[in-house]
Chain A
Amino acid sequence: MPILELKGISQEFGGLRALDSIDMAIETGEIFGIIGPNGAGKTTLFNIITGIYEPTQGEVIFNGGNINRLPAYQVARQGIARTYQNIRLFKKLSVLDNIRVGRYGVTKNGIFSGMLGLPLARREESQTMAEAMRLLELVGLYDRRWEYADSLAYGEQRRLEIARALALNPTLLLLDEPAAGMNSSEKVELVSLIRRIREEMELTILLVEHDMNLVMNICDRIAVLDYGRRIALDTPIRVKNDAAVIQSYLGVEA
């Protein structure tokens, strides 16, 4: 059963049709890439899946349930975590606290139990701390855990954002241009990190990316968007040789 299904998703902003009846199904456990030129609607699609926009038409089905109308925080609690194209960290919180906020959706202790230090709060806090430490090790930021998030280098900030998303214990992880602005060695690290995450945490990963090498190298399947329409959906090799894709996106080699 696919973990996420998009059925006839359309999104209009005023008169502009950003997405035009998009269909796709993401299978459990795969790394699924979405590519396309700027303005093709990739980020819009992410915003629809995560509940920031409600689609004009169509249905978003996650684990068999319709999540169209759920607000963003509810979608997160269902197990869909994401990162952003332009990094959105809590800048003036420590690296550790950024990850601990990420655990908000999977913990329950309320304001009074936190204030009074009741058993539930204490138990959850120690779990949160242990999980945060594990994630810090995973993304290699353990030594920097007390620094402010905005004092990290760019590549580290990207990794921190991924760690914060993982803190939610998601079953589906959305990465919006995770390699943007990275140099080639950082990209190599990122690829191995993404692979390791998928294996260790048994997740499904959906990613938008411009770096063709990275996408072809890491994804099991790829969907290509152009002007809000899905023009291809297949394995990397087939997509690379697809006539429509070459014409609209990859360009014809001389």
Chain B
Amino acid sequence: MDAVLSQYIDPYFLRIILIIGINIILALGLNLITGVTGQLSMGHAGFMSLGAYTSAILTMNYGVAFPTALLGGSLVAALFGFFIGLPTLRLQGDYLAMVTIGFAEIIRVFFLNFEPGGKAVGLSGIPQETTFLTVWGLVAVAVFLNARLLSSRTGRAFYAIREDEIAAESCGVNTTRLKVTAFVLGSFLGGLGGGLYAHYMFYIDPQVFNFTKSIELLNMVVLGGMGSIPGTILGAVLLTILPELLRVVAEYRLMFYGALLVILMIFRPNGLLGDVRIYDLKKRWGLGKNK
């Protein structure tokens, strides 16, 4: 499939499309935690690295099949999501953000000193198992299950926690339990994205999963629209393509990138699609049966 595709599409574009897919999976995970449930997490790269290293070590050193290794990496990330979710029982907003930053740093420094992970040099020669189809197949599944989840009873309770925790409790929502659940699900997707990334890039090192990466993922969610699946997808697409387009301005790239974020946040503080609903669009354009 990939060989067929590369006959028609420039490998450079193919590569970017694939990275977009991986970023969508990662951002959907963070969206569950931060966008939907409202728990500010600034350490998503930590979950990503757990998934990347775990799955890479499984395939390289233990000869585990790729799908199993991918699942293993995701489960390890989810387990850590559970443990990082526990302090959220007590912390909110800025305080929680600090904890998640600290968590991601601990993970990064751990892999910096982790012998089987190649320490600072990282792991190279990871089998390239991630194909175009795997990524976009998993994107489809992740989007589908996410959409189903968010329109279900549990999904509505996630949003309710974001909007007003006390009111959610008085509707019978066990907010602590659901906050941890959101962390587990989100970090599972983080681990999945990390595993896909590792098996696409041949090579990973701890620097890939630094604080900047976490912020980049958070940007996708915030820019696209907190809690909105189409918004998160749009954010992931834009923020993957944008740095590539900005290559023309060479070393001023990051400056432009930053400026664009500032401008967007001024004009669309809720993100591009954060408060856009089909219902409102229909009403504005005078369509549909609504009065």
Contacts and interface: CB of A to CB of B under 8 A. Distances in A.
Given A89-B164, A115-B149, A102 B291 contact: no
A200 interface: no
A6 interface: no
B170 A50 contact: yes
Given A109-B153, A114-B153, A117-B148, A101 B160 contact: yes
Interface in B148-190: 148-149, 152-157, 159-160, 163-164, 166-175, 181, 185
A164 interface: yes
Contact of B154 (A50, A84, A110): A110
Contacts of A100: 153, 156
Interface in A52-91: 52, 71-73, 76-77, 81-82, 84, 88-91
Given A97-B156, A100-B156, A111-B181, A73 B167 contact: no
A107 B115 CA distance: 49
A146 B156 contact: no
Given A114-B154, A114-B155, A92 B171 contact: no
A115 B171 contact: no
Contacts of B153: 100, 103-104, 107, 109, 114, 121, 124-125, 128
A111 B174 CA distance: 13
Interface string A99-133: 01111111101110011110001001100100000
Interface of B is mostly: helix
A118 B169 CA distance: 26
A115 B172 contact: no
Given A114-B154, A128-B153, A146-B279, A104 B172 contact: yes
Contacts of B163: 89-93
B169 A84 contact: no
Interface in B5-46: none
B169 A72 contact: yes
A91 B173 CA distance: 17
B152 A101 contact: no
B263 interface: no
A253 interface: no
B2 interface: no
A106 B172 CA distance: 8
A102 B174 CA distance: 13
B275 interface: yes
Contacts, number: 109
A110 B153 CA distance: 8
B148 A72 contact: no
A224 interface: no
A53 B120 CA distance: 51
B167 A146 contact: no
Contact of B172 (A77, A84, A121, A148): A77
Contacts of A82: 170
Contacts of A76: 169-172
Nearest to A82: B170
A104 B170 contact: no
B61 interface: no
B20 to A, nearest CB: 24
B113 to A, nearest CB: 36
A93 B172 contact: no
B145 interface: yes
A246 to B, nearest CB: 35
Contacts of B173: 73, 101, 104-105
A128 B166 CA distance: 22
25 contacts: A52-B166, A52-B169, A73-B169, A76-B170, A81-B170, A89-B167, A90-B164, A92-B159, A93-B156, A93-B159, A100-B153, A100-B156, A101-B159, A103-B153, A105-B172, A109-B152, A114-B154, A114-B155, A115-B145, A115-B148, A116-B148, A121-B152, A125-B152, A146-B290, A148-B275
Given A101-B173, A111-B154, 19 more contacts: A50-B170, A52-B169, A72-B169, A73-B174, A73-B175, A88-B166, A90-B167, A91-B163, A93-B163, A101-B157, A101-B159, A101-B160, A101-B168, A104-B153, A105-B171, A111-B152, A114-B154, A146-B290, A168-B171
Interface of B: 145, 148-149, 152-157, 159-160, 163-164, 166-175, 181, 185, 275, 277, 279, 290-291
Q: Top 8 closest A-B pairs, CB basis?
A: A105-B172, A114-B152, A90-B163, A88-B167, A72-B169, A76-B172, A101-B160, A111-B154
Interface of A: 50, 52, 71-73, 76-77, 81-82, 84, 88-94, 97, 100-107, 109-111, 114-117, 121, 124-125, 128, 143, 146, 148, 164-165, 167-168
